[in-house]
């Protein structure tokens, strides 16, 4: 077996779970526990090694930094020695100026700024990084940690703070007013938001806010922080999250952009997460550009240095977002169907195939869907969908019209070679209608295994992989 696949699978530690009971009805089929889903994801990757290879095929693997599968699936773990060691071994500390350091880790970065009053830490990384950062700060400076600023609540940005608290440190911690609400939702939806949608080991996931490190102060709009006689200007702006913050250090001519800038088409169309605000995201990028920084330090991807290059990078993403928003707005006002709008949106000619807009994680179509979701209600514009029957009811009717399940599976099989997207829809209907039919489950596995190829956006792969894990779970139930 490919060594990379072994390493990737090892990162998905087996979760102990009972045998459960025999499948009794449709509802029980649709309810694998997060631990079971995590376990069967490992099984799928072992059986289909091309999935891990496809996930790592892009130059962006690691989100612009090195890649660690141990970290990828244990970002909330305070005990994973493998994840902690990877954070230590793969960390690259880059000096930006005499008192600024850019720390590149697998999947995410943090920034450290030394002032006469103490250290300013911008984000704390994921949970395994916390203890490692404590050691690094001691190596960089003899000054104490004075202030932490959270750019947002996501587990790869704010979960490392526990280590500082456990070490007895009491820094000032600043975040957006929306930080606690957003983190609270992730805790409230622990098994959904972080375990299932973020593909994390459910044993690591915090279940109460008491387990989290809360900010000592919050703000909305603009906040000027004076530290050691130096000014830092903090800005809130909705973008990837409701609680996003970016930071301007005017004396250093540096902007720390959080997740507003990424080294590929930004994660603005993530259908597994809460609403992204692409219009306001573009406005934030324009505001950063207006400060005319010489250096841009993103939390994903390399440091960007040189005033002209920084302006070009910010303008490229802002222009792409503004174009997508404008096209969706025009389509809605023209009365076009949402389906037509979503599939017609494209980047302007000068931005097509731009390297900074590589669809590594999501696509332009995904971003268009996110704008549509923001600007409309839950109704997708299809009249029958206002009071639609259950998907299973539709699936049974379609399969019956096709001549029964055997004929339907044959048609699905034939479509795999010419139209894998439609074959996937057919496979989904078959599973909805006949969730205990082994031939249905086998064919659906084949369809989604075929759909994952190098170049498939990472977020899309994660959706298909999660579905395959669920199918594998169903197969195991049938075998029992």
**Strand ranges, E, within 162-236:** 172-176, 217-219, 222-227, 230-236
The bridge status of strand 118-122 relative to strand 222-227 is unpaired
Count CB neighbours of 182 within 10 A: 19
In a 3-state reduction of DSSP, which class is residue 29?
A: helix
Residue 12: per-residue pLDDT = 37
In which order are the strands placed within the sheet that holds 118-122?
A: 92-97, 100-104, 109-115, 118-122, 145-149, 172-176, 217-219
- The tally of CA atoms less than 13 A away on the side-chain side of residue 263 is 19
Radius of gyration of the chain (CA): 23
Count CB neighbours of 219 within 10 A: 18
Going by C-alpha positions, the residue among 176, 177, 194 that lies closest to residue 185 is 194
- The tally of CA atoms less than 13 A away on the side-chain side of residue 260 is 34
Residue 5: per-residue pLDDT = 38
Read off the tokens for 359: 């669809």
What the chain holds in terms of domains, given with CATH numbers, is 3-57+389-479 (no CATH), 69-321 (3.60.15.30)
Per-residue pLDDT in tens (0 to 9) along the chain, 480 residues? 444 333 333 333 323 233 333 333 454 456 788 889 999 998 999 999 999 999 999 999 989 889 999 999 999 999 999 999 999 999 999 999 999 999 999 999 999 999 999 999 999 999 999 999 999 999 999 999 999 999 999 999 999 999 999 999 999 999 999 999 999 999 999 999 999 988 899 999 999 999 999 999 999 999 999 999 999 999 999 999 999 999 999 999 999 999 999 999 999 999 999 999 999 999 999 999 999 999 999 999 999 999 999 999 999 999 999 999 999 999 999 999 999 999 999 999 999 999 999 999 999 999 999 999 999 999 999 999 999 999 999 999 999 999 999 999 999 999 999 999 999 999 999 999 999 999 999 999 999 999 999 999 999 999 999 999 999 999 999 988
Residue 32: per-residue pLDDT = 85
Break the chain down into helix, strand, coil percent, rounded to 5: 45, 15, 40
Cα separation, 77 vs 159, whole angstroms: 9
Please say whether the beta carbons of 179 and 213 come within 8 A. Answer: no
């Amino acid at each position: 077996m490919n060594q990379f696949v072994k390493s990737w699978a090892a990162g998905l530690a087996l979760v102990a779970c009972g045998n459960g009971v025999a499948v009794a009805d449709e509802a029980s089929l649709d309810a694998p526990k997060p631990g079971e889903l995590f376990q069967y994801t490992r099984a799928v990757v072992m059986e289909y090694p091309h999935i891990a290879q496809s996930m790592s095929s892009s130059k962006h693997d690691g989100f612009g930094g090195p890649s660690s599968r141990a970290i990828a699936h244990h970002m909330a773990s305070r005990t994973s020695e493998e994840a902690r060691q990877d954070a230590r071994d793969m960390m690259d500390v880059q000096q930006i100026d005499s008192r600024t350091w850019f720390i590149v880790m697998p999947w995410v970065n943090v920034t450290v700024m030394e002032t006469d009053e103490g250290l300013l830490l911008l984000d704390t990384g994921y949970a395994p990084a916390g203890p490692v950062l404590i050691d690094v700060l001691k190596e960089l400076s003899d000054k104490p940690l004075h202030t932490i600023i959270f750019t947002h609540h996501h587990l790869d940005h704010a979960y490392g703070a526990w280590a500082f608290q456990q070490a007895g440190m009491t820094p000032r911690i600043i975040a957006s007013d929306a930080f606690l609400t957003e983190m609270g939702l992730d805790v409230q939806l622990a098994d959904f938001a972080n375990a299932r949608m973020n593909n994390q080991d459910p044993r690591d996931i915090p279940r109460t806010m008491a387990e989290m490190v809360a900010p000592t102060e919050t703000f909305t709009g603009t906040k000027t922080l004076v530290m050691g006689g130096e000014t830092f200007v903090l800005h809130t702006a909705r973008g990837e999250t409701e609680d996003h913050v970016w930071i301007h250090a005017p004396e250093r001519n540096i902007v720390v952009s959080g997740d507003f800038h990424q080294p590929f088409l930004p994660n603005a169309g993530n259908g597994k997460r809460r609403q992204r605000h692409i219009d306001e995201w573009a406005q934030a990028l324009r505001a950063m550009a207006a400060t005319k920084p010489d250096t841009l330090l993103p939390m994903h991807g390399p440091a960007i240095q040189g005033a002209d290059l920084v302006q070009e990078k910010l303008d490229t993403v802002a222009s792409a977002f503004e174009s997508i928003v404008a096209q969706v707005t025009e389509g809605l006002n023209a009365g076009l169907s949402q389906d037509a709008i979503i599939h017609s949106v494209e980047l302007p000619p000068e931005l097509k195939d731009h390297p900074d807009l590589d669809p590594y994680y999501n696509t332009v179509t995904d971003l268009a869907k996110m704008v549509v979701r923001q600007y409309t209600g839950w109704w997708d514009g299809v009249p029958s969908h206002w009071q639609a029957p259950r998907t299973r009811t539709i699936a049974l009717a379609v399969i019956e019209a096709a001549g029964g399940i055997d004929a339907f599976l044959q048609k699905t099989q034939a479509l795999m070679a010419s139209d894998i997207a439609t074959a996937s829809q057919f496979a989904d209907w078959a599973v909805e209608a006949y969730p205990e039919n082994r031939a249905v489950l086998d064919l659906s596995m084949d369809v989604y295994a075929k759909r994952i190829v190098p170049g498939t956006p990472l977020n899309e792969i994660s959706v298909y992989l999660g579905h395959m894990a669920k199918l594998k779970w169903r197969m195991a139930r049938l075998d029992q």
